[in-house]
Amino acid sequence: MPISIRSLLQGMHRQACLLCLQDSHTLLCQHCQADLPILNLAQYQHNLLNRPDIAQGLENINYQRLVACAPYQWPWDRLITSLKFSQRLLCAKALAEQFYRLTLFARQDLPEAILPMPLHASRYMRRRYNQAGEIAGQLSRLSHIPVDQHLCRRSKATLPQTELTGAQRRHNLRDAFSLNGPLPYRHIAVLDDVITTGTTISSLCHTLRCARVDLHIEVWCIAISLKSPLE
């Protein structure tokens, strides 16, 4: 019997897998974890900028490393949209656990802080939480890397990027971010749920780099959604 994922997620409890609802002591059961589509990071030195089809799909790369779990597809899209639009905060924990397991677990050279992509205050007031901040908080718990929620703010309410042309996207994001004070880091990770064109990330990285030219910036995202679908 087909059951919508929404009803599955609404009916879940802590002992059920978020995706298949089978009994599980983890948020995603072992079967669902094994079935997750993932990107092979080891093949690209744990940096997806080394993968040509991904690097070519991104605008203005002004960061040194890109890390993501997967292409933006089932079931990542369901977990992310459930977090973003249905306030399923448990999905942030599941996504952080998978990000940690797939991308950070074996790494040594970790950044000093995680900066979640800031939401503009007006959007924060409507949604009451920042989905990137929720994922960052859970990731900090696992990795012991502190989250810096106050380093940077979104100073301009921007239009949704998906409906704009490339030039409009760049204009839309000009001066979109501001620092709240000095930048005390040499190595930082910027975290967002999904990266599409990379214009928003690039704008944030530009603001950070203006404060410190030699800043080492990693971009962490759960999933990548490019115009030409990833294999």
* 41 vs 91, beta carbon nearer Zn ion: 91
CB of 141 to Zn ion, least distance (A): 22
Query: Which C-beta is closer to Zn ion: that of 32 or that of 48?
Result: 32
Task: Report the nearest approach of Zn ion to the CB of residue 40 (Å).
Answer: 22
Binding site for Zn ion (CB under 5 A): 17, 19-20, 29, 32
**How open is the CA angle 77-27-137, to the nearest 5 degrees?**
75
Q: How far apart are CA 101 and CA 111, in angstroms?
A: 17
Question: Looking at beta carbons only, is 57 or 75 nearer to Zn ion?
Answer: 75
CA-to-CA distance for 19 and 3, rounded, in angstroms?
Answer: 11
CB of 218 to Zn ion, least distance (A): 30
Q: Rounded to whole angstroms, how far apart are CA atoms 218 and 191?
A: 9
Q: Smallest distance, Å, CB 188 to Zn ion?
A: 34
For Zn ion, the closer of residues 22 and 168 by Cβ is 22
The string of DSSP codes covering 161-227 is GGGS-HHHHHHHTTT-EEESS----SEEEEEEEEESSSHHHHHHHHHHHHH-TT-EEEEEEEEE--S
